[in-house]
Amino acid sequence: MKPTQSDPTVQPVPASVVETVDAADTTLSNPCWAVLALGANLGNRLETLQGAVDALGDTPGLRVKAVSPVYETAPWGVEPGTQPSYLNAVALVKTTLPPSSLLERAHAVEEAFHRVREERWGARTIDVDIVAYADVVSEDPVLTLPHPRAHQRVFVLAPWHDVDPEAQLPGHGPVADLLAALGHEGVTPRADLELRLPE
């Protein structure tokens, strides 16, 4: 008797998936460093940032190795006073996930905290951006690496420099130099707030 529905576990694997897995082989046996920028300006901002850090820490193939101090920042790209200020931080992670899977996980974390993408630079409960992944430089429109505006954003560079003073942004040079050129205008350290590493 012929089955009415084929068993999905015996379907041929698409060639594109095989290529992706093969390309990730070196990553799987050799974890890479990645830098993630976190930002929130709606709801309980600190609680949401901590929840995002914890969710990243629960991701198979990913370990959060460092979390920066918290900064308060005026919203980017909008008229002053039209949005609440942001809390921003940076997480350094070591991961065996390829960049595309790390992006999927970042989006899943955003969705878990009800991130809505209705307008560019709109207010959001949480933003999880991949700033850099190892030394990868990619013009892929789905995931441009490093982040195309990271070198202009003090709210990314300042917390990143705090946790890794020797950091380099691929294609742009030392984070310390980029930060020195921009200054710290518009970002305020929040020493009264702290994010914890996942347990």
Catalytic center residues? 115, 124, 127, 129
Q: Say what angle helices 175-182 and 154-163 make with each other, to 10 degrees.
A: 140
**CA-wise closest residue to 113 among 158, 73, 164, 53:** 53
Cα-trace Rg, the chain: 19
| Distance of alpha carbon 67 from alpha carbon 65, whole angstroms | 7
Q: What is the DSSP string of 35-80?
A: EEEEEE-SSSHHHHHHHHHHHHHTSTTEEEEEEPPPEEEPPSSS-T
| Distance of alpha carbon 197 from alpha carbon 23, whole angstroms | 30
Residue 168, judged by CB atoms within 10 A of its CB (0-12, 13-18, 19+), counts as: middle
Backbone angles phi, psi at 86, to 5 degrees: -95, 150
| Distance of alpha carbon 28 from alpha carbon 22, whole angstroms | 10
β partners of residue 62: 95
